[in-house]
Amino acid sequence: MRPSLRILAAWTIVSAFFAPIAVHAHESSLGALELREVRHGAYVARWTIEPTIGAARVDLRMPPHCFFRLPELDCGEKGLVGALTIGNLGSRMSAALIKIIPMEGEARSYTITTANPTVSILGPGAPSLQSWIELGATYLNYGVDHILLGADHLLFVFGLIWIVGVGRRLIGTITAFTIGHSASLAAAAFGLVGVPERPLNACIALSIVFVGVEIVKKRRGEAGLTARYPSAVAGAFGLVHGVGFASALAGLGIESRLLPAALAFFNLGVEIGQLAFVLLTLSLLWAHRRLGAVLTGWGGLVPAYAIGSVAMFWFIGRLLRVLELD
């Protein structure tokens, strides 16, 4: 292990001990509103997934020409077109899916998130350039948010950097992880593979435990699996993490014709967030090397055990959920 990594790792311990609190934010609080057209311009609104804050407390703002009082929505001759927004999105309600079911034609879905709290409701027909831009902005931001709030994913990437070190091998390892999670994200989003969320989350936690063990092995001078085949290990675990990313999209019930684009933007957002984290970690490694900041002796082992312990804590917690003992 590079000495300069040690002091960085010491701070990781501090953050990691608090990460179990932060990781709760990873499970987004959703709401899903269905608007079913009963006559031209008139809809019946119903929360199919009621947000945790309660349906009555959602500050839903319809286009100005519409009259809205649950369960009634009347937009007159003009119909339901224009800006729709939720004024009080936050940590207790991070996203809402609006599904519009017209009397004729296919149902349409729109996603409102804290990053993109306003969507434009379109009339029937092909999506316009504006709607593609809105879709891109929504899912790009959602992807960035998802990775930044995913302490488990970030800790796994951090562990990989620690084992592999800085250099060409790191590029290969991170690329393999990216390919792995992108492939499984796409497969899961298109319904080609399906893994129940709770066992999957437990497996993700277990992957970090594995990385923690591998770090200890490296510290002892043993060549673990990750040290010998970093790309293969990163790619394989990337497949697991990718299905986890897909679970964030699954709850939103995106319209099938928009799914490929939404998926591409979401994945791009995840990559942007991941790249920012890798660059920040590498910058800190450089800074510690420059300052000669080193933890000596047993101090070098503690962070590895801390990462492993926190991941084990997550694993046990998630396993209890699988067994429904929580």
Partner 1 sequence: MRHGSAMKHWPRSTSAGALALIASATSANAHIIGARLGDFYAGAAHPLTDLADLILWFALALLAGSLGPSAARPILLFFPLGLLAGSSVGAEVVFAPAGGLAASGMLVLLGLLLAAGLRIHRNLLCVIAFGAAAMRGASNAGGMGPETNRLLFALGIAIAGYVAIALVAAATVAFRGEETVSRGWRRIAIRALGSWIAAIGLMMGGLALAS
Binding residues vs partner 1 (CB under 8 A): 7, 11, 14-15, 18, 21-22, 25, 89-91, 94, 114-115, 145, 148-149, 280, 283-284, 286-288, 290-293
Cβ closest to partner 1, residue 184 vs residue 281:
281
Residue 14 CB, shortest distance to partner 1, in Å, is: 8
Residue 15 CB, shortest distance to partner 1, in Å, is: 6
Taking CA 149 as the corner, what is the angle to CA 146 and CA 150, rounded to the nearest 5 degrees?
A: 80
Q: 284-305 burial string, b = 16+ CB within 10 Å, else e?
A: bbeebeeeebebeeeebbebbb
Cβ closest to partner 1, residue 92 vs residue 257:
92
- E strands of the chain, at which residues? 30-39, 42-49, 60-61, 67-69, 72-74, 82-86, 95-101, 108-113, 118-121
Cβ closest to partner 1, residue 75 vs residue 154:
154
Neighbouring C-beta atoms of residue 267, cutoff 10 Å: 23
Cβ closest to partner 1, residue 83 vs residue 287:
287
Cβ closest to partner 1, residue 190 vs residue 286:
286
Residue 75 CB, shortest distance to partner 1, in Å, is: 29
Cβ closest to partner 1, residue 13 vs residue 193:
13
- DSSP letters of 260-287? HHHHHHHHHHHHHHHHHHHHHHHHHHHH
Residue 230 CB, shortest distance to partner 1, in Å, is: 26
Cβ closest to partner 1, residue 70 vs residue 272:
272
Tokens coding 60: 């839903």
Residue 48 CB, shortest distance to partner 1, in Å, is: 24
Which residue in 56, 62, 41, 181 sits closest to 112, CA to CA?
62
- E strands of 178-279, at which residues? none
Helix (H, G, I), strand (E, B) or coil at 189: helix
Prior bond to 102 cis, omega within 30?
A: no
Residue 210 CB, shortest distance to partner 1, in Å, is: 26
Please state whether beta strands 118-121 and 108-113 pair in parallel, antiparallel, or not at all (unpaired): unpaired
Cβ closest to partner 1, residue 15 vs residue 309:
15
Burial of 316 (0-12, 13-18, 19+ CB in 10 A): exposed
Q: How far apart are CA 259 and CA 65, in angstroms?
A: 30
Q: How far apart are CA 30 and CA 17, in angstroms?
A: 27
Residue 175 CB, shortest distance to partner 1, in Å, is: 25
Residue 283 CB, shortest distance to partner 1, in Å, is: 6
